[in-house]
């Protein structure tokens, strides 16, 4: 706990130094002014033991303001804060288990995680957002101050401009409210967790609001030598300047240190390792250090109502993540001759150091939203402008071969490398300007259309260590989005949509002939049709079908000296169906269920062995089922459980090796009680109840493929006390 004091000091100094700068978020404050006019709307959420919201009814991730999910012509998934608390989620990998269309894609223990949606890997530069503004994805974004996490599945060119085809993840922060809560937690590995949530609305008309979240975690990993710690603090503030104007400010700071756990590689490039344990650290060296991740995200937003029909907001924010990466890294075999582990389990060990790796995202938006009519047509028009900048500053790092090990016999003590990393320098400067609009046209009570688009001006430069420009990319592009909505009855919508986005090209790995080339940006296109049906106020059903196409990027075997060249050739087409249900089946039984079937194929690649194959790390079928049942006769006691299934996932482009299909079961209890006259909630969860040994993902990172083991059975216990 000795880190809490300096952490608080750091946050306060940061807030003092940046309160005139950037930052953002959503809504809070309630009451009336001296003339009796209504002050801006407040969304207040507390964490007591009263009635809990069983499902989300709106989201902002598919547009630029909160909108009912029923009227949103896109596939949107929302995991509420209540569900995250009940599942004791600490990481985004805990949250995504609730949606079958989302999977891990290189998410090792102790490192920042990345994911895929609908079979497309997300881009850390632009896919992760906090209250609608881009956040540096090279961080572990904390959940303690998040009210919900929203996922827009599929192409999001209108919402984000230059972004990967899979979609975007939006973290929505908690707003100021009268709340006082403390949570204590532990797990079967001996971890310790403490979190507080303190907030208040004050002033004569409750026009001021503050909310502070803080957490400390001692992380005892199930992987030997994989322990670490985390400190977090955040501040949310709101001020209703008048009946029409609301100012909001948010800042969050986190520091995390944990030894990262490297993945395995295929043996000989073709076979999965067998008989290995998830508790094994492949390269436990005394000179290896924890990965240190320091992040600061802050935002400022001003909302105003111009008149009864028009309102708008301006917001700006900065997200900064700094990573210090020092580790003994297992990679390849044969003294650098092969990029995969040897057939007998041998691997090379590298002293890998990449200190002071800084990524920074700055973004500002101005948005106006209004309603008007032209003849019989009713319009809800959104107009906006956005400016953003992404920079990366780091050294070239070092990766020095220091010895070898074996997955079965272990790794001996090896000498530390003698090379020293050079100084950090500006690697990347990416700037975007954008104008966007979206018009919801109401033809009648049954028919609506949405027409919109985003005009993007992209200017991106990459630099060499001597300051010279190694790549200069400029693109000007209009990204359209169209949708038609039919509502045969008030509680059902049927929609069809078309959307485009611009995805940045990826970079070649070091072992191909054209390293370090970065491939050019490419347009991704999506067609989607879906149905949303609210069976009752407490239960919603969804179904959608989609097809997404984008350029295929891969290491093409050829006659070059290295044997491979990184190319953008052919296309990847992902076609799928998603089914979902969320809400209450009965007064006692709450469920969340989703199924995703995806056919992800490469075609016209120029390599016959890859054409027609299912894309790496994309299962053909995945499902997720969650249930929460209030036990009769014991007031306040709920049983919880989930069943997760993933079909086999290809681990090679030619389909010669795959991760086996897997079923994972989780269980839990929640008991709401009174302690000293105050509400309290006791939660106990067991993940992977049957202690299944399985491979969880075959994700790729910097052009190389890795496979990661899933976590063993883990029990977690927490007590939340509201006072």
User: Residue 314: which of 24, 66, 41 has the closest Cα?
Assistant: 24
**Contact at 8 Å (CB) between 369 and 294?**
no
For the 4-37+55-169+176-679+705-722 domain, the top CATH level (class) is mainly beta
129/149 Cα distance (integer angstroms): 10
CA of 656: how far to CAs of 188, 553, 699, in Å? 38, 19, 16
171-184 burial: b if 16+ Cβ within 10 Å, else e: bbbbbbbebbbbbe
Residue ranges covered by each domain of the chain: 4-37+55-169+176-679+705-722
User: Residue 130: which of 291, 314, 315 has the closest Cα?
Assistant: 315
DSSP string across 660-677: PPEEEEEEEEEEEEEETT
Per-residue pLDDT of 391-404, as tens digits, reads 999 999 999 999 99
Burial of 467 (0-12, 13-18, 19+ CB in 10 A): exposed
303/567 Cα distance (integer angstroms): 46
Q: What pLDDT shows up at residue 75?
A: 97
All residue ranges of the chain with pLDDT < 70 are 1-54
330/273 Cα distance (integer angstroms): 14
303/552 Cα distance (integer angstroms): 42
Q: What pLDDT shows up at residue 52?
A: 52
550/574 Cα distance (integer angstroms): 9
Q: What pLDDT shows up at residue 54?
A: 62
Tokens of 474: 């400029």
Report the 10 Å Cβ neighbour count for 609: 13
Q: What pLDDT shows up at residue 500?
A: 98
The beta-strand segments (E) located in 558-655 are: 564-584, 589-603, 621-630, 637-646, 649-650
Per-residue pLDDT of 465-495, as tens digits, reads 999 998 899 999 999 999 999 999 999 999 9
Q: What pLDDT shows up at residue 549?
A: 98
32/14 Cα distance (integer angstroms): 33
Residues near 17 by beta carbon (within 8 Å), at least 6 away in sequence: none
Q: What pLDDT shows up at residue 71?
A: 95
User: Residue 259: which of 283, 232, 241, 231 has the closest Cα?
Assistant: 283
Tokens of 600: 């992800």
């Amino acid at each position: 706990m000795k880190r809490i004091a300096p952490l608080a000091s750091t946050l306060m100094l940061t807030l003092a130094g940046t309160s005139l700068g950037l930052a953002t978020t959503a809504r809070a404050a309630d009451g009336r002014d001296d003339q009796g006019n209504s002050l801006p709307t407040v969304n207040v959420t507390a964490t007591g033991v009263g009635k809990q919201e069983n499902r989300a009814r709106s989201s902002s991730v598919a547009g630029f303001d909160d909108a009912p999910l029923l009227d949103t012509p896109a596939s949107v998934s929302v995991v509420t804060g209540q569900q995250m608390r009940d599942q004791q989620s600490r990481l985004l990998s805990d949250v995504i288990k609730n949606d079958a269309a989302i999977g891990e894609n290189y998410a090792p223990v102790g490192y920042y995680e990345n994911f895929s949606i609908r079979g497309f890997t997300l881009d850390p530069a632009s896919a992760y957002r906090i209250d609608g503004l881009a956040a540096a994805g090279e961080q572990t974004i904390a959940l303690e101050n998040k009210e919900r996490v929203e996922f827009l599945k599929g192409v999001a060119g209108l919402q984000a401009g230059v972004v990967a085809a899979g979609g975007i993840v939006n973290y929505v922060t908690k707003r100021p409210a009268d709340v006082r809560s403390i949570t204590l937690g532990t797990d079967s590995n001996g971890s310790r967790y403490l979190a507080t949530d303190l907030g208040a609305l004050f002033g004569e008309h409750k026009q001021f609001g503050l909310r502070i979240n803080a957490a400390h975690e001692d992380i005892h990993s199930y992987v030997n030598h994989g322990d670490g710690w985390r400190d977090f603090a955040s501040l949310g503030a709101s001020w209703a300047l008048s009946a029409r104007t609301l100012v909001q400010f948010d800042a969050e700071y986190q520091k995390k240190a944990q030894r990262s756990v490297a993945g395995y590689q295929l043996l000989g490039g073709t076979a999965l390792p067998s008989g290995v344990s998830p508790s094994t650290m492949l390269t436990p060296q005394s000179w290896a250090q924890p990965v240190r991740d320091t992040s600061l995200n802050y935002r400022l937003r001003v909302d105003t109502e111009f008149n009864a029909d028009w309102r708008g907001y301006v917001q700006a924010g900065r997200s900064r993540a700094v990573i210090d990466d020092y580790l003994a890294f297992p990679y390849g075999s044969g003294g650098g001759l092969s990029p995969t582990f040897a057939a007998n389990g041998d691997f090379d060990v590298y002293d890998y150091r990449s200190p002071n790796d800084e990524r920074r995202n700055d973004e500002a938006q101005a948005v106006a939203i209004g309603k008007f009519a032209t003849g019989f047509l009713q319009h809800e028009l959104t107009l906006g402008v956005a400016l953003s900048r992404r920079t990366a500053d780091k050294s070239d790092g070092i990766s020095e071969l220091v010895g070898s090990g074996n997955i079965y016999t272990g790794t001996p003590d090896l000498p530390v490398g003698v090379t020293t990393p050079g100084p950090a320098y500006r690697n990347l400067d990416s700037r975007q300007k954008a104008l966007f609009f979206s018009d919801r046209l109401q033809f009648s009570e049954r028919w609506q259309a949405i027409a919109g688009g985003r005009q993007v001006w992209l200017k991106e430069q990459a630099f060499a260590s001597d300051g010279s420009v190694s790549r200069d990319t400029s693109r000007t592009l209009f990204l359209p989005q169209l949708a038609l909505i039919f509502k045969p009855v008030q509680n059902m919508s049927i929609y069809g949509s078309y959307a485009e986005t611009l995805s940045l090209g990826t970079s070649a790995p070091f072992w191909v002939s054209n390293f370090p080339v970065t491939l050019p940006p490419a347009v991704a296109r999506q067609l989607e049709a879906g149905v949303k049906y609210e069976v009752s106020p407490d239960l919603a059903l969804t179904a959608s079908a989609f097809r997404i196409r984008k350029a295929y990027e891969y290491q093409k075997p050829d006659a070059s000296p290295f044997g491979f060249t990184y190319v953008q050739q052919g296309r990847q087409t992902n076609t799928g169906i998603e089914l979902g249900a969320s809400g209450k089946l009965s007064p006692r039984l709450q469920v969340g269920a989703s199924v995703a079937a995806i056919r992800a194929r490469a075609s016209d690649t120029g390599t016959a062995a890859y054409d027609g194959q299912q894309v790496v790390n994309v299962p053909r079928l995945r499902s997720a089922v969650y249930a929460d049942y209030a036990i009769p006769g014991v007031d306040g006691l709920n049983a919880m459980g989930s069943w997760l299934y993933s079909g086999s996932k290809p681990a090679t482009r030619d389909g010669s090796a795959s991760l086996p299909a897997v079923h994972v079961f989780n269980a839990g209890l929640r008991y709401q009680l009174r302690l000293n006259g105050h509400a309290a909630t006791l939660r106990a969860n067991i993940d992977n109840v049957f202690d299944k040994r399985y491979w969880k993902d075959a994700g790729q990172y910097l052009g190389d493929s890795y496979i990661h083991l899933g976590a063993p059975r883990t029990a977690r216990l927490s007590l939340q006390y509201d006072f």
